[in-house]
Amino acid sequence: MRKKQTLRVGGQKNTWIEIVILGITILIFCYLRLTPIYTETVGYTFDQGRDFLKAAEIVLYKNPTFIGPTTGIMGIYHGAWWYYLLSIGFIIFQGVPIGFYYLNFFIQFGAFLLFYIFTKKLFNTVTALLLSFLVATSPYLIFNSIFMVNNVMAMPAFLLLLVATLSILDKKKRSITILKKTIPVHLVAGLALGFTAEFEFAFGLLLMPTYLLLLAFFQWKTKFFRSFKEVIYMFLGLLFAFLPRLFFEIKNSFPQTKVLLKFFFEPQFHTPKPYDAVFRDRIEVFQGYYGGLFMNDYVKTIITLTALIFAVFFIFRKKFSVGFIFLTFLGILLFIFSTLYKDTFWSYYYDGIQYLYLLLLGYLLSAELKTTKSLQQYGKLIILTVFIMLAFLKVNREIRQPIPYDGIKVQKDIVDYIHGQIKTTPYCVIVYTPPVIPYTYDYLFVYKRISKNIPDPLHEWYGNQCWYIIEYDDNKERKDEWLEKNIPKEAKQVSDKRIKDVDIQLWKR
């Protein structure tokens, strides 16, 4: 294994080149993610409102939970760790709604730094810089850095699993040092595997048997476990990740276990398809994972062709890395197992698999022959320079575009408007949103209560008047039916304010 800690071109160390390129990459990473967070144009929907309310409940009312958000299988839930992570964000940012998004950014940035440090040690500096640039500019990874939903945390968890696994297979490491504490790598792998499953249940449902099956094979080939103690470490990591779910199951007579067993033996699908259609669909999904890594088709084409060219050098080396073989089989088996599910396979089911693609690219791009070593390094640096120029053009275009009026800022302005109009309390606010459940506004009112001491609104008429927040709905009939049921016939509208496409109306009787 090569141990290159600095960038070498033509036999010379060029630490300053590495610092400049890494610095530019970090700036691009931060700009593309922090801009929508700072301008508060990030998505804020039913799911975010529900999850933020749960975090507030845990912190404010000391009400712990053992299950997380619902999944696509009725009766099965994601892990509770998502809510506890949000609780940490609630405490750090004192309930500020946009604070949760900053929390996600810092976690994803930590994953970015881990990825760079690890790939630099596993491959070489130039390859690590190139791969990190792809992370910084990937549209898919950018979106998941600014959207607050449980599956986005499966990405850093899965990356940590890959790092721990490759550390054992390729780097022969059995422990790591964190804050001067020595931690067994197998414990980290177990934790990462469990957290991946808990943050995205569908991913875990397919990943765990795949990963454990591969470990059984690689144990025979590579001695992944050298002692029974290492097996125990991995088991303890898994057990810790699943503790809240286990507590819930024991307390409630194993309801999720029963539902899951029934799902396996008596599966019910919403949109079942024949296997050939499922196979084609999965190919499109996996192509989407790969395509989502690149900021445009030019970068995708250049990286793909470069990887194919370097694959020739990889083959000529006649020595395939154990880690490369493991990742290849992991990707193939994840694909095969996904085709066994006949229903709709949403792309977020495998959130984080992009890091598997990147590491496979890293193995190919780091393949070098002594006779062309310098030429290959120069070639990758030239490609990286071109990519940076393209990224600056992208950033320049975004800077010139007006900031959209969208996202959580709209809902915040609506709540601020109502609070600016009310003269007395209690007061009534009734909300219509297409999902009917107004969690988005409920959390904003909770935040106003804890930050400005403004009471939460009543959801029934008070003092012969009530404010109505009426969001846009494509289904006009559904909206009209709701309005007819929820606005008294004798009431009269006395004011109307539109913020973006949302109507804020005051009705009296």
Query: How far apart are alpha carbons 2 and 120 in whole angstroms?
Result: 10
If pLDDT is split at 50, 70 and 90, which confidence band does 382 have? confident
- The predicted pLDDT at position 370 comes to 63
pLDDT at residue 284 tops 70: yes
Instruction: Find, among 209, 208, 212, 190, the residue nearest to 200 by Cα.
Output: 208
What long-range pairs does 375-378 form, CB within 8 A, spacing at least 24?
376/310, 376/313, 377/8, 377/9, 377/10, 377/126, 378/9, 378/10
pLDDT at residue 332 tops 80: yes
The one-letter amino acid code at 76 reads I
Assess if CATH 3.30.110 describes domain 408-508.
yes
Beta strands 465-470 and 492-499 are unpaired
If pLDDT is split at 50, 70 and 90, which confidence band does 5 have? very low
What long-range pairs does 257-260 form, CB within 8 A, spacing at least 24?
259/73, 259/74, 259/75, 259/76, 260/73, 260/76
pLDDT at residue 309 tops 90: no
If pLDDT is split at 50, 70 and 90, which confidence band does 317 have? low
- The predicted pLDDT at position 13 comes to 58
pLDDT at residue 11 tops 60: no
Q: What is the pTM of this model?
A: 0.91
In the chain, which residues fall in CATH 3.30.110?
Answer: 408-508
- The predicted pLDDT at position 138 comes to 93
Kindly report the number of other CB atoms within 10 A of residue 91's CB atom: 13
Dihedral Cα 26, 29, 34, 35, nearest 10 deg:
110
The one-letter amino acid code at 282 reads R
Strand partners, 462: 465
Neighbour-count burial for 249-266, b at 16+ CB within 10 Å, e otherwise: beeeeeebeeebeeeeee
Q: From the centroid of its chain, how far is CA 336?
A: 23
pLDDT at residue 123 tops 50: yes
pLDDT at residue 319 tops 90: no
pLDDT at residue 179 tops 90: no
pLDDT cut 90: percent of the chain above it: 64
Could you tell me which residue, 246 or 2, shows the higher pLDDT? 246
Query: How far apart are alpha carbons 57 and 83 in whole angstroms?
Result: 10
Give phi and psi for 429, each to the nearest 5: -135, 125
* Separation in Å, CA 24 to CA 35, 135, 228, 419: 16, 13, 45, 43
pLDDT at residue 40 tops 80: yes
pLDDT digits (tens, 9 = 90+) for 130-175: 999 999 999 999 999 999 999 999 999 999 999 999 999 988 888 8
Mean pLDDT of the 218-222 span: 80
pLDDT at residue 237 tops 90: yes
If pLDDT is split at 50, 70 and 90, which confidence band does 318 have? low
Dihedral Cα 194, 244, 248, 340, nearest 10 deg:
-20
Burial class of residue 462, CB neighbours in 10 A (0-12, 13-18, 19+): middle
* Separation in Å, CA 374 to CA 9, 12, 377: 6, 10, 5
Q: What is the DSSP letter of 438?
A: -
Mean pLDDT of the 2-24 span: 67
Kindly report the number of other CB atoms within 10 A of residue 317's CB atom: 11
